[in-house]
Structure 1
Amino acid sequence: MSQQKSESKREEFRRYLEGTGVLDALTKVLVGLYEEPDKPSDALDFVKHHLHGGPLESIDAEALKKENEELQQRNRELEEQVAQLQTALSKYESESTETVAS
């Protein structure tokens, strides 16, 4: 019974991989590696490169964090500016309404 449950889970996982296109993508990459006339010295890098669809870029987490902080600061500044402009607009609108009423 435990073996049937395990087989069922494997089959369910296989269907999941097929349905999401993972098996097709892996198959294409592995076939490409097989057909490569000059086998790369690092097969894992070959697979990573071809699954990604291009050269892998190194992610500079610190630069992204800094950029995020700068953008958040700029967003706060712009929100403050919008609030000030809305206040000024309300002031001028109320003055305009008072002038027309007089």
Structure 2
Amino acid sequence: MAHYKVANSKSEEFRRYLEKSGVPDTLTKVLVALYEEPEKPNSAPDFLKHHLGAATPENPEIESLRLELAEVKEKYEAVVEENKNLKTKLAQYEPLQEEKRAK
């Protein structure tokens, strides 16, 4: 009988862990989404994997695209800053040109 209580205790501890982590709620939401899907997918496990975020392993191309995106964002920020500086410099010279035209 003591062996049964130990197993039950571990099971109860694991159940509390899952509930604290939100696993039952997440699984319920995904299963409800599958239930409400008008056209049932060919593969229910694939549907579940996709909606749980484990559809496909990281593609090596994705990492290279992330790096490229980071580089492009950095260059974009540099160009925006340069544009801002050039506009400031231009604004200093524009009033001088307007004065020359007035003469």
TM-score with structure 2 length normalisation? 0.50
What aligned pairs does 1:56-95 form with structure 2 within 5 A after superposition? 56=56, 58-60=58-60
Q: Which residue of 1 aligns with 2:41?
A: 40
Count of aligned pairs between the two proteins: 63
- Once the 2 structures are TM-superposed, how far is the Cα of residue 58 of structure 1 from its aligned partner? 4.0
Secondary structure class of the residue paired with 1:30 = helix
What SS does the corresponding residue of 1:3 show, helix, strand or coil? helix
Which residue of 2 is the match for residue 86 of structure 1? none
Structure 1: segments with no counterpart, 5+ residues: 68-102
Shift, 1:37, TM fit: 2.4
RMSD, aligned CA = 2.7
Q: Name the SS for the 1:37 alignment partner.
A: coil
Segments of structure 2 that go 5 or more residues without pairing to the other structure are 68-103
Alignment correspondent of 1:2: 3
Letter in 1 for 2:43: D
Higher relative contact order (CA 8 A, sep 6+): 1
1:56 Cα offset (Å): 4.3
Superimposed CA distance per residue, residues 31-53 of structure 1 (whole angstroms, 9 cap, x where no aligned partner): 11122222111111101111119
Cα shift at 1:29: 0.4
The percentage of aligned residue pairs carrying the same residue is 52
- Displacement of 1:12 in angstroms is 0.6
For each residue in 1:54-98, what CA deviation from the matched residue of structure 2 results, as whole angstroms up to 9, or x when unmatched? x7464228x77xx8xxxxxxxxxxxxxxxxxxxxxxxxxxxxxxx
